[in-house]
């Protein structure tokens, strides 16, 4: 089961499968009306990216969404059939595409409702597409910051986003040690960077921050405990935790963060990591939301506002 859930290299390192539909074809940027539908799950950090960018870019009316939850046999299921074809699982939706489909039926997935076909099921391909659409939200990848965004993505994705999975799904001590070392070295470096920079790329929230945030928001609840990322908790990083609180407190962001769904999904469905299905004693959703709603004082790092930091009482 572990080999099916988390394929590994001969040394025991987790090897994430590539997405078969990695990017949105360019013609969708100019197609109107846009008949696209997003399939996502609140529990999944990769799907969370798409929900977050959809909200920040004010695309709710342009891109409708259907949510799935972990179900039987490891399939993503609809809590009630909400697809015109009466599909019970996300696999059923994938199978509607021309020629059918027998690959991994993952979230997020962007679907062409008119052609009944998969457009993209790679999270970063979807968020780049969402960011390129005309909307009322701020540009999360402005041209002058693209090189910086790429720089941070090259650190955050392999060492943190995928790094927590490399820790949790490691099948040898050597693989775990290497993954954990890289994970916490990257978190230490970003903690230092955020001591003088409001966001990863200065004063502007970007896609790089979105990608980091969806891992950080799950860190203490899931990765620290279940994935053995135990060296430090997020709350022990003052700058990283303040940064997470600031993003959480932005308009619409908290509505995309469903802590109960996150905990239930990870502890209830990752059988090889938690065969008993026991959910550990963790802060409830209200307590977690209260912690993340505490003042962050990150605005004092803005280059346009360099007032002295407030002194501790």
Q: Kindly report, residue by residue over 198-239, the tens digit of the pLDDT.
A: 999 999 999 999 999 999 999 999 999 999 999 999 999 999
The pLDDT of residue 47 is above 80? yes
| pLDDT in the model for residue 227 | 97
What is the per-residue pLDDT across 143-189, written as a single tens digit (0 to 9) for each? Answer: 999 999 999 999 999 999 999 999 999 999 999 999 999 999 999 99
Q: Residues with Cβ < 8 Å from 100, sequence gap 6 or more? A: none
**Which CATH number does 2-132 carry?**
3.40.30.10
**Which CATH number does 143-255+283-301 carry?**
1.20.1050.10
Share of the chain above pLDDT 70, in %: 91
Instruction: Please tell me which residue in 28, 44, 83, 94 is annotated as part of the active site.
Output: 44
Q: Which residues are annotated binding-site positions for glutathione?
A: 76, 104-107, 122-123
pTM score above 0.85: yes
| pLDDT in the model for residue 249 | 98
Residue with the larger pLDDT of the pair 75 and 43: 43
Is 229 one of the annotated active-site residues of the chain? no
Portions of the chain given CATH number 3.40.30.10: 2-132
Residue with the larger pLDDT of the pair 308 and 58: 58
Is 44 one of the annotated active-site residues of the chain? yes
Across 65-89, average pLDDT: 81
Portions of the chain given CATH number 1.20.1050.10: 143-255+283-301
pLDDT bracket for residue 81 (50, 70, 90): low
């Amino acid at each position: 089961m572990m080999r099916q859930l988390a394929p590994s290299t001969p040394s025991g390192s987790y090897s994430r499968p590539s997405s078969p539909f990695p990017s949105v074809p360019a013609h969708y940027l100019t197609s109107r009306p846009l008949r696209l539908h997003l399939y996502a799950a609140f529990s999944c950090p990769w799907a969370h990216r798409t929900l977050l960018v959809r909200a920040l870019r004010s695309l709710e009316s342009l891109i409708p969404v259907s949510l799935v939850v972990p179900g039987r046999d490891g399939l993503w299921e609809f809590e009630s059939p909400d697809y015109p074809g009466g599909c019970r699982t996300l696999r059923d939706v994938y199978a509607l595409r021309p020629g059918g489909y027998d690959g991994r039926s993952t979230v997020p997935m962007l679907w062409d409702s008119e052609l009944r076909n998969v457009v993209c099921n790679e999270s970063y391909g979807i968020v780049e597409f969402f960011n390129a659409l005309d909307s009322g939200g701020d540009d999360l990848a402005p041209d002058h910051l693209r090189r910086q965004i790429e720089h941070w993505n090259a650190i955050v994705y392999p060492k943190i986003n995928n790094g927590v999975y490399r820790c949790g799904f490691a099948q040898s001590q050597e693989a775990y040690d290497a993954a954990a070392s890289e994970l916490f070295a990257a978190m230490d470096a970003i903690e230092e960077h955020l001591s003088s920079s409001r966001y990863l790329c200065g004063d502007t929230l970007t896609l790089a921050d979105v990608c980091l945030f969806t891992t950080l928001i799950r860190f203490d609840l899931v990765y620290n405990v279940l994935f053995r990322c135990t060296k430090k908790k997020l709350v022990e990083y003052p700058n990283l935790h303040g940064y997470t609180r600031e993003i959480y407190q932005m308009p619409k962001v908290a509505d995309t963060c469903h802590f109960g769904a996150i905990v239930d999904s990870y502890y209830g469905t990752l059988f090889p990591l938690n065969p008993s299905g026991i959910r550990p004693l963790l802060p409830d959703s209200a307590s977690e939301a209260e912690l993340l709603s505490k003042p962050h004082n990150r605005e004092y790092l803005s280059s346009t506002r360099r007032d002295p930091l407030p002194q501790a009482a």
